[in-house]
């Protein structure tokens, strides 16, 4: 949502600017932005008209590894219902958060996990695996489920990658919040990364323009992706026209000539 809160209007504007659009969905008991079947069909037509692809970010409020079995099952049910609706416009990826702690909408200082409490992680991963199998079955063979690193290291997701249930949406801004080395993460996870989220970070504020970061750092990232022939989606995950414009300008300037 860069230009107001209407999904169709955003797609109409962004279709002239980018080649892939992330549809970020939210859901609460009283409020949501879930497209109905009519708007889903319009999104499909707009995609074909503008040669656009879509990814769908499932609501961050879902907790498919919750220790509460009722909320865990309800989260899976909601995810599957959203997949059924949005499948009309044929997303190439579905992106999912698996909260390790209570989900929050903003980064919490100090709440970034790098070292694993083995028993807690094992229980969390076991609950998540059961949910992920159901969600991937709903997506089917033509789509892909990507798990996003949120307030924890991507290493927390390794078990799901090993099982082959899903791939990763590697969020670089979240790596920065955790003071992790981005190039090291690229080296380790790029082969199983279907989408990369880029955004600027200052302190504990994220989803800012890439322009707030040192140009040399962004240049290093982009050169590495080109060198490795990365062919997944690179998503500038920002939410204002100004942040999008300055991020696009920077990426365009730092990309190696002709790439």
Q: What's the token pair of residue 64?
A: 């498919």
Task: Quote the CA–CA distance of 222 and 202 in Å, as a whole number.
Answer: 20
Any domain includes 40:
yes
**Is residue 108 pLDDT above 50, yes or no?**
yes
In a domain, 157, yes or no: yes
Rounded Cα distance, 83 and 146, in Å: 13
Residue 1 in any domain: the answer is no
Q: How far does Cα 137 stand from its chain's mean position?
A: 20
Whether residue 57 is contained in a domain is answered as: yes
| Residue 186 resides in a domain | yes
Give Cβ neighbours of residue 43 (< 8 Å, ≥ 6 apart).
7, 8, 11, 23, 35, 54, 88, 89
Q: Does the structure show a pLDDT above 50 at 258?
A: no
**Structural domains of the chain, count:** 1
pLDDT tens digits for range 17-55 = 999 999 999 988 888 899 999 999 999 999 999 999 999
Angle of CA points 228, 97, 243, to nearest 5°: 65
2 within some domain: no
Is 210 domain-assigned? Answer: yes
Q: Is residue 125 part of a domain?
A: yes
Short-list 236, 151, 229, CA closest to 196 = 236
Mean pLDDT, the chain, integer: 92
Per-residue pLDDT, 105: 62
What is the CATH classification number for the domain harbouring 241? 3.20.20.150
Calpha distance 183→222 (Å, rounded): 10
Q: Can you give the three-state secondary structure of the chain, one letter per residue? A: CCCCCCHHHHHHHHCCCCCEEEEECCECCCCECCCCHHHHHHHHHHHHHHCCEEEEECCCCCCCCCCCHHHHHHHHHHHHHHHHHHHHHCCCEEEECCCCCCCCCCCCCCCCECCCCHHHHHHHHHHHHHHHHHHHHHHCCCCEEEEECCCECHHHHHHHHHHCCCEEEEEHHHHHHCCCCHHHHHHHHHHHEEEEEECEEECCEEEECHHHCCHHHHHHHHHHHHHCCCCCEEEECCCCHHHHHHHHHHHHHHCCCCC
Q: Residues of the chain with pLDDT > 70: what percent? A: 96
DSSP collapsed to 3 states, 39-92: HHHHHHHHHHHHCCEEEEECCCCCCCCCCCHHHHHHHHHHHHHHHHHHHHHCCC
* Predicted model pTM: 0.94
Convert the pLDDT of each residue in 145-198 to its tens digit: 999 999 999 999 998 988 777 999 999 999 999 999 999 999 999 999 999 999
138 pLDDT band (50/70/90 cuts)? very high
Reply yes or no on whether the pLDDT at 60 is more than 60: yes
Domain that holds residue 224: 7-254
């Amino acid at each position: 949502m860069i230009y107001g809160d209407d999904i169709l209007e955003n797609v109409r504007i962004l279709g002239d600017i980018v080649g892939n659009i992330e549809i970020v969905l939210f859901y609460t008991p009283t409020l949501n932005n879930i497209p109905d079947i009519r708007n889903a069909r319009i999104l499909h037509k707009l995609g074909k008209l503008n040669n656009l692809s879509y990814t769908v970010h499932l609501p961050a409020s879902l907790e498919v590894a919750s220790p509460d079995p009722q909320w865990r099952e309800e989260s899976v049910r909601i995810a599957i219902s959203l997949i059924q609706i949005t499948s009309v416009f044929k997303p190439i990826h579905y992106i999912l958060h698996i909260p390790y702690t209570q989900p929050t909408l903003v980064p919490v200082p100090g709440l970034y996990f790098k070292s694993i409490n083995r028993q807690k992680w094992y229980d969390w991963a076991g609950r998540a695996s059961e949910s992920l199998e159901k969600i991937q079955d709903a997506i089917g063979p033509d789509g892909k489920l990507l798990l996003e690193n949120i307030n924890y290291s991507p290493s927390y997701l390794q078990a799901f990658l090993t099982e082959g249930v899903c791939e990763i949406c590697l969020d670089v801004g979240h790596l920065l919040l955790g003071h992790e080395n981005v190039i090291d993460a690229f080296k380790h996870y790029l082969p199983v990364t279907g989408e990369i989220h880029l955004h600027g970070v200052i302190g504990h504020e994220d989803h800012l323009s890439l322009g707030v970061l040192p140009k040399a750092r962004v240049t290093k990232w982009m050169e590495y992706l080109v060198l490795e022939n990365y062919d997944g989606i690179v998503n500038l995950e920002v939410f204002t026209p100004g942040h999008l414009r300055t991020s696009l300008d920077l990426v365009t300037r730092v990309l190696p000539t002709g790439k």
